[in-house]
A and B are shown apart, each in its own frame.
Chain A
Amino acid sequence: AQSVTQPDIHITVSEGASLELRCNYSYGATPYLFWYVQSPGQGLQLLLKYFSGDTLVQGIKGFEAEFKRSQSSFNLRKPSVHWSDAAEYFCAVVTEDGGNKLTFGGGTRVLVKP
């Protein structure tokens, strides 16, 4: 069965600084990869997704993620964070033999210092 690991439970970053959130997956083939964001009291919003092709994908709100097959990673980045980026971020995978359901990592909570 596939699994997703987000090594960092909490990250604190200063407003205007860069942000990188780590995600590693365990699966034999290349899964479909997603990053979702959950703001306090809100549902999950899709930031970006990777299926195939260019390994650097652009998403909403200025986020991007890079798929690295050799490292089984799909890290999320933003060059300059805004206070509104404070939220919890979830990496997730779907596999074609996994029944179309999302398997989520444990999440990374991002705090933004002024």
Chain B
Amino acid sequence: GAGVSQSPSNKVTEKGKDVELRCDPISGHTALYWYRQSLGQGLEFLIYFQGNSAPDKSGLPSDRFSAERTGGSVSTLTIQRTQQEDSAVYLCASSLGERGASDTQYFGPGTRLTVL
């Protein structure tokens, strides 16, 4: 079946602009995660959605970052007033959400964001 998809695959923006990154999880997966991969920080967690529960936003680096998940499926990560340090690959993952911590997370190909 279809895996996790993300769009766009590449995004170049100017400092100060807002960007939106999209994630389509695997159908039927109730858990959705956003991670960021950058040269300086490695792979780091950003935010986690599970069903209708309040999201775990503990990894968001600043209030310029926000995410929503509509209808329990598609998610959008929004970065406002982008800064050069936001340049990274943003990875989305989804899991069944049935077994909590032991669920396998399946990753999308990522969106490479470059802030000029």
Contacts and interface: CB of A to CB of B under 8 A. Distances in A.
Interface of A: 32, 34, 36, 41-46, 49, 51, 90, 92, 94-96, 98-107
B56 A101 contact: yes
Interface of B: 4, 31, 33, 35, 42-45, 48, 50, 56, 58-59, 91, 93, 100-110
Contacts of B59: 101
A100 B31 contact: yes
Contacts of B44: 104
Contacts, number: 59
B109 A100 contact: no
Contacts of A49: 102, 104
B33 A101 contact: yes
A40 to B, nearest CB: 12
A56 to B, nearest CB: 18
Contact of A94 (B56, B91, B102, B108): B102
Contact of B43 (A41, A51, A104): A104
